[in-house]
Amino acid sequence: MEGGAVANPRTVEEVFKDFKGRRAGMLKALSGDVEEFYRQCDPEKENLCLYGLPDETWEVNLPAEEVPPELPEPALGINFARDGMLRKDWLSLVAVHSDAWLYAVAFYHGARLDKSERKRLFGMMNELPTVFDTVTGRKPVKEKSSVNNSGSKSKTSVNEGGVKSSKAPPKEEDEAFDDEDEEHGDTQCGTCGGNYTSDEFWIGCDVCEKWFHGKCVKITPARAEHIKKYKCPSCSNNKRARG
């Protein structure tokens, strides 16, 4: 199934090289070779999978017969959805599953890496655009600086819709994760007054720059993805009052 691949990679560099090769193969299938890929995904055939190979090639094939398989398996039966969706939507769906498989294979190979090596491996992979981003033409997420209501300046991650995420970004060192709650404990929800915790979804108002529990302002992470500029209830009411 692996097209004559050599022995399993072990070091960070070897795993990353394997990841890049498989990623390049999948990108060829979903872009440059898309007509041939589309043709091979015949809905009349059995369950088919898209495999990216370490030598930057790809193949559409049946899943491995052995259980459990030698490597994590990609999404099964991608051919069955081909004619039931718009072509671009189907390719996007395959791209999402391709990204998930690439990361699964990389961390399967990297199971023996230590904490710092896994972090370095993820950083190297994360520097490359995802298959989904490349196939759909989506621009990478940007970051911006903002001031929270405690007066300290911190970098706030921004999703595609421009909404501030729930969690403060990590520092350079691993130990930053251990004292994140303590460091940001003076940040309070503008609705309930509760202190910041890293395990809850938070959203920041782009007008008053106060932070809120998503549940307090009835905003879910999924809904936040579609908000370009978030205004808290107070700022929204003030605007209506002035009008």
pLDDT tens for the chain, 243 residues long, are: 444 444 678 899 999 999 999 999 999 999 999 999 999 999 999 999 999 999 999 999 999 888 788 889 999 999 999 999 899 999 999 999 999 999 999 999 999 999 999 999 999 999 999 999 999 988 765 544 444 444 444 434 444 444 445 444 444 444 554 555 555 557 888 888 888 777 788 899 998 889 988 889 888 888 888 888 888 888 887 755 555
**Where in the chain are the domains?**
12-136, 186-242
- CA 185/CA 196 separation, integer angstroms: 5
The CATH number, out of the four listed (3.30.40.10, 3.30.70.1560, 3.40.50.10680, 2.40.50.140), of the domain defined by the range 186-242? 3.30.40.10
**Angle at CA 81, nearest 5°, toward 75 and 83?**
150
Q: What is the pTM assigned to this prediction?
A: 0.56
The phi, psi pair for 58, rounded to 5°, reads -140, 165
Residue 134 CA: distances (Å) to CA of 26, 86, 90, 114, 243: 11, 18, 15, 30, 43
Among residues 233, 96, 224, 236, the alpha carbon closest in space to that of 161 is found at 224
Burial label, 133 (beta-carbon count in 10 A; 0-12, 13-18, 19+):
middle
Residue type, 195: N
pLDDT of residue 155: 39
pLDDT of residue 222: 83
- CA 195/CA 184 separation, integer angstroms: 8
Q: Would you state the structure tokens that stand for residue 184, as one six-digit string?
A: 């940001």
Over the chain, what HEC string results? CCCCCCCCCCCHHHHHHHHHHHHHHHHHHHHHCHHHHHHHCCCCCCCCEEEECCCCCEEEECCCCCCCCCCCCCCCCHHHHHHHCCHHHHHHHHHHHHHHHHHHHHHHHHHHCCHHHHHHHHHHHHCCCCHHHHHHCCCCCCEEEEECCCCCEEEEEECCCCCECCCCCCCCCHHHHCCHHHHCCCCEECCCCCECCCCCCEEECCCCCCEEECCCCCCCHHHHCCCCCCCCHHHHHHHHHHC
**pLDDT tens profile 62-85:** 998 887 888 899 999 999 999 998
pLDDT of residue 89: 93
**pLDDT tens profile 24-60:** 999 999 999 999 999 999 999 999 999 999 999 999 9
pLDDT of residue 131: 95
- CA 240/CA 43 separation, integer angstroms: 54
Q: What is the DSSP letter of 78?
A: G
